[in-house]
C-alpha cells in the first residue's frame, strides 16, 4: 500500500497509509532504521473506535477514509466516516519541525442523536531496529505513558483528552508464540493493563468519551523518540507544557514559511499543478536527512514483495533532487548533500552503487567479478552526475569558497577516475552498470553523463587556475562526445542504442533496445543540441515506440521492460520520470507559445496520476492507472518540479519577446 502521507523533520520520518495508519517510522536517520515496518514484516499502528458494544478498526471497509496533506504545509489530514456506526473520525498530523515528536489531533463526532460512550483505541506495533527480539515495552507510572526501548533507541507513547490522560492500556506480544497482536484485547472494549513485556512487543491504549448526540470530542496522541528514557521523559514533558495543539500549529507555520522561501510564480498554472508543485517540494525535503543524504523513497511496502526497499541514497537520484533544491533556492540542503557525497567517495575517485543516510555502504547485487574478471560494481553515471550538478550549483550561487573546499577531496579525484576509466579503442567510458541497474556495458546514458561530468570538472579546474587539468578533462570529454555520435548512434535505425559492450575477443556487442534514458541523457548533460538531426530522429522513435496507447498514456522506460509489468497489461508500465523527460524535451524544443501545449498536457498527465494527497509513484498500470512499485518516488517529484520550472521560464521568455 503506497504511502498517502509522509511527514518528517530530517531525523524522524513517519509514513501513513491510505487508512491513516502509521506504516513507517524512521529514526534517527531518514530511511535507515524503520521501527515499524522494516525488514521483519508488514506491521501497522491501528486505529479503532468502540461504540455500541463493538470495535471497528479503520482498515475495515465500512470506513470511508480520505488521507492526504493540508494545502501549503506538511501537515497530514485524515477524515474517516463509518455510516453504520454513526461516527466520523478526523485527525491533523505533524512531525514537529524542531523536536523528534509525532503528534496527532483526533476529533470524534457522534452522528447519532443520542448521547453515547465511545472509546478510541490506538495500537502500536514496534520492531525497534527491525528485529523481533530484545524489545521491551512497559507502562511508566512516573509519566503515565508507555515506553518501548531497545539499546539506546527509546520511544514513548502518550495520549490525552483535555486534561485527562489515557485511561486504559495493555502491553503484550505479537508475531511470535502464536500471538497476532495485543490490539485484539480491545475487541470487548476493555484493556487488561499488563504493565510490561519483552521480546516482540506491541501495545495499545484507550481513551473514553461521553459524547452527546451531534457533538464531538477531541484527543491528542503523540510519539516521541530519543536515545534514553530520561530524554523521552523530557520530550513528553515538553509536549505537555507547550500543549500538542500549539506544537502542531507552530509546525504548520514553519512549513508555510519554508514554502514561501521559494519565490516561483505559479499563477499561470492550473490549480492542481500548483498544488502538486508545492507538495513535491515537501516530499523532497521530508526524504532528506539532516546529515545530507537524500533517499529514493521511504515506502517499505514493496519490501514484502522483494528483497529490499528504496530507502537508500542513490548518488544519481539524489544529485538530481539536490539540483532541484538548488533550482528552487534551497541551496543549504544541496550543500549538505554534496558534502555527504564528498565524505563517501572512494580514494580511487568513484562512488558506489548506493548508501545509507548514516554514511554506510548500502546493499547491492552488482558483482565484483564478471565472466571471471574483476570489475568495479559501480554505475559510473552516479559519480559523473554529482560532479555535473555541483557545477550547476556553482552557476547559480557562485560560492567559490565552497567549491575550493570540494576540489581536492572530491572534484579532482572523480575527474581523474573518469579520465582513466576509458576504453582506449572506442574512447567511451569502460563498462559499468546502467542507470536502471540491470545491464553491464557502456550505455548511451552513462557515456553522456561522463561527458557532462568531465566538462563540469574542466570548468572547475579552469576556475581555480588548474589549466593543465582543465585541458585534459575537456579533451577526454570531447573524445567521448565524438564516440557517442559515431559508435552509439545507429544510422540504420536512426536511434542511439541502449548500450555497447566490448567483448573479450575485441568485438563490439550492441544492445539496440530503444531506451528513453538515451535521449534524456544526451539532452540533460548537453552532449548534443536539441535541434541536432540525430536527436530529432531519436525523439520520433521514442514517440512511436515508447508511448503507451492504453488508458494511462505516458512513456515507458524501454522496449520490453518487465519491471513490475502486470500480466493483464498490453505494454510495459509508464513511468513518471520518463514521461516528464519528454515534457522537458517539448519545452526545450518549443519556438512559440503554442508549441508548449504537449508539455503542459504531460504535466497535467502527471498530476492526474498523483494520489489525492499529492503522492507520485515510480510507475503505474498502463490500463487501470493504479500506482505500482514504490510511492512516493522522490525522483518523480523532483522531475515534476524541474519540468514545471522550465515550462514557466519558457512561457516568460516568450512573453518577454512578444513585448519587444
CATH topology of domain 5-256: Beta-galactosidase; Chain A, domain 5 (2.70.98)
| Position 204 pLDDT exceeds 70 | yes
Q: What was the pLDDT predicted at 302?
A: 58
pLDDT (tens digit, 9 = 90+) per residue, 514-533? 999 999 999 999 999 999 99
User: Nearest Cα to 538, choosing from 498, 576, 503, 509?
Assistant: 498
pLDDT (tens digit, 9 = 90+) per residue, 424-467? 989 999 999 999 999 999 999 999 999 999 999 999 999 999 99
Q: What is the mean pLDDT of residues 389-398?
A: 98
> How many Cα neighbours within 13 Å face the side chain of 2?
23
| Position 255 pLDDT exceeds 70 | yes
Distance of alpha carbon 279 from alpha carbon 557, whole angstroms: 25
| pTM for the predicted model, two decimal places | 0.95
- Please state the domain extents for the chain: 5-256, 267-291+546-660
Q: What was the pLDDT predicted at 504?
A: 75
pLDDT (tens digit, 9 = 90+) per residue, 234-248? 999 999 999 999 999
Q: What is the mean pLDDT of residues 114-138?
A: 93
Cis? peptide before 632, omega within 30° of 0: yes
What does the mean pLDDT of the chain come to? 94
DSSP result, 28-54: SSTTS-BSSSTTT----B-EEEEETTE
pLDDT (tens digit, 9 = 90+) per residue, 557-576? 999 999 888 877 889 999 99
Q: What was the pLDDT predicted at 305?
A: 45
Q: Are 278 and 259 in contact (CB under 8 A)?
A: yes
**What Å distances lie between residue 630 and 19, 138, 248, 560, 622, CA to CA?**
17, 35, 28, 20, 16
**What Å distances lie between residue 272 and 584, 604, 621, CA to CA?**
19, 8, 22
Residue 527 falls in which region: left (phi positive, over 0), alpha (psi -120 to 50) or beta: alpha
For Cα atoms 201, 204, 206, give the angle at the middle one, nearest 5 degrees. Answer: 165
Amino acid at each position: 500500500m503506497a504511502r498517502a502521507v509522509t511527514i518528517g523533520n530530517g531525523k524522524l520520518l513517519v509514513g501513513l497509509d491510505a487508512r491513516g495508519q502509521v506504516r513507517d517510522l524512521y529514526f534517527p536517520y531518514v530511511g535507515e532504521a524503520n521501527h515499524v515496518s522494516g525488514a521483519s514484516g508488514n506491521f501497522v499502528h491501528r486505529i479503532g473506535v468502540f461504540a455500541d458494544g463493538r470495535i471497528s478498526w479503520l482498515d475495515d471497509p465500512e470506513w470511508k477514509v480520505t488521507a492526504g496533506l493540508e494545502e501549503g504545509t506538511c501537515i497530514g489530514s485524515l477524515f474517516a466516516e463509518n455510516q453504520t456506526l454513526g461516527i466520523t473520525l478526523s485527525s491533523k498530523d505533524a512531525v514537529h519541525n524542531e523536536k523528534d515528536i509525532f503528534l496527532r489531533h483526533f476529533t470524534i463526532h457522534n452522528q447519532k442523536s443520542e448521547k453515547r460512550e465511545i472509546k478510541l483505541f490506538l495500537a502500536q506495533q514496534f520492531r525497534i531496529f527491525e528485529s523481533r527480539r530484545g524489545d521491551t515495552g512497559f507502562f511508566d507510572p512516573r509519566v503515565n505513558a508507555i515506553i518501548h526501548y531497545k539499546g539506546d533507541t527509546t520511544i514513548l507513547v502518550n495520549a490525552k483528552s483535555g486534561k485527562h490522560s489515557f485511561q486504559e492500556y495493555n502491553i503484550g506480544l505479537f508475531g511470535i508464540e502464536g500471538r497476532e497482536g495485543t490490539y485484539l484485547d480491545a475487541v470487548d472494549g476493555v484493556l487488561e493493563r499488563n504493565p510490561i513485556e519483552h521480546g516482540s512487543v506491541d501495545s495499545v491504549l484507550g481513551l473514553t468519551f461521553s459524547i452527546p448526540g451531534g457533538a464531538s470530542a477531541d484527543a491528542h496522541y503523540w510519539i516521541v523518540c530519543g536515545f534514553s528514557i530520561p530524554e523521552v521523559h523530557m520530550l513528553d514533558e515538553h509536549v505537555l507544557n507547550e500543549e500538542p495543539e500549539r506544537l502542531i500549529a507552530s509546525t504548520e507555520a514553519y512549513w508555510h514559511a519554508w514554502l514561501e522561501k521559494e519565490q516561483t510564480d505559479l499563477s499561470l498554472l492550473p490549480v492542481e499543478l500548483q498544488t502538486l508543485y508545492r507538495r513535491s517540494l515537501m516530499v523532497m525535503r521530508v526524504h532528506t536527512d539532516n546529515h545530507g543524504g537524500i533517499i529514493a523513497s521511504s515506502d517499505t511496502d514493496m519490501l514484502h514483495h522483494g528483497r529490499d526497499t528504496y530507502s537508500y541514497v542513490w548518488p544519481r537520484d539524489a544529485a538530481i533532487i539536490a539540483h532541484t533544491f538548488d533550482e528552487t533556492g534551497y541551496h543549504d540542503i544541496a550543500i549538505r548533500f554534496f558534502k555527504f557525497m564528498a565524505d563517501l567517495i572512494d580514494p580511487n575517485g568513484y562512488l558506489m552503487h548506493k548508501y545509507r543516510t548514516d554514511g554506510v555502504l548500502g546493499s547491492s547485487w552488482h558483482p565484483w567479478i564478471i565472466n571471471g574478471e574483476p570489475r568495479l560494481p559501480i554505475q559510473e553515471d552516479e559519480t559523473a552526475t554529482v560532479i555535473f550538478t555541483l557545477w550547476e550549483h556553482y552557476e547559480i550561487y557562485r560560492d567559490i569558497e565552497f567549491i575550493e573546499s570540494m576540489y581536492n577531496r572530491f572534484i579532482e579525484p572523480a575527474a581523474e577516475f573518469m579520465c582513466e576509466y576509458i576504453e582506449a579503442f572506442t574512447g567511451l567510458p569502460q563498462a559499468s552498470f546502467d542507470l536502471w541497474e540491470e545491464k553491464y556495458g557502456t550505455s548511451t546514458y552513462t557515456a553522456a553523463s561522463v561527458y557532462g561530468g568531465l566538462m563540469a570538472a574542466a570548468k572547475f579546474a579552469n576556475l581555480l587556475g588548474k589549466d593543465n587539468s582543465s585541458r585534459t578533462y575537456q579533451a577526454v570529454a570531447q573524445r567521448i562526445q565524438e564516440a557517442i555520435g559515431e559508435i552509439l548512434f545507429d544510422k540504420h535505425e536512426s536511434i542511439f542504442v541502449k548500450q555497447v559492450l566490448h567483448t573479450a575477443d575485441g568485438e563490439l556487442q550492441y544492445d539496440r533496445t530503444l531506451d528513453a534514458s538515451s535521449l534524456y541523457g544526451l539532452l540533460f548533460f548537453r552532449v548534443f543540441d536539441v535541434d541536432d538531426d540525430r536527436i530529432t530522429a531519436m525523439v520520433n522513435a521514442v514517440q512511436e515506440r515508447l508511448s503507451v496507447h492504453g488508458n494511462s498514456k505516458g512513456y515507458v522506460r524501454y522496449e520490453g521492460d518487465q519491471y513490475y509489468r502486470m500480466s493483464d497489461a498490453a505494454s510495459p508500465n509508464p513511468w513518471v520520470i520518463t514521461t516528464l523527460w519528454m515534457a522537458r524535451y517539448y519545452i526545450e524544443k518549443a519556438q512559440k507559445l503554442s508549441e508548449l501545449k504537449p508539455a503542459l498536457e504531460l504535466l497535467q498527465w502527471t498530476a492526474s496520476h498523483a494520489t489525492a494527497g499529492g503522492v507520485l509513484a515510480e510507475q503505474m498500470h498502463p490500463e487501470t492507472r493504479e500506482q505500482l512499485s514504490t510511492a512516493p518516488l522522490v525522483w518523480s517529484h523532483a522531475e515534476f518540479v524541474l519540468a514545471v520550472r522550465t515550462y514557466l521560464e519558457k512561457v516568460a521568455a516568450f512573453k518577454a519577446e512578444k513585448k519587444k
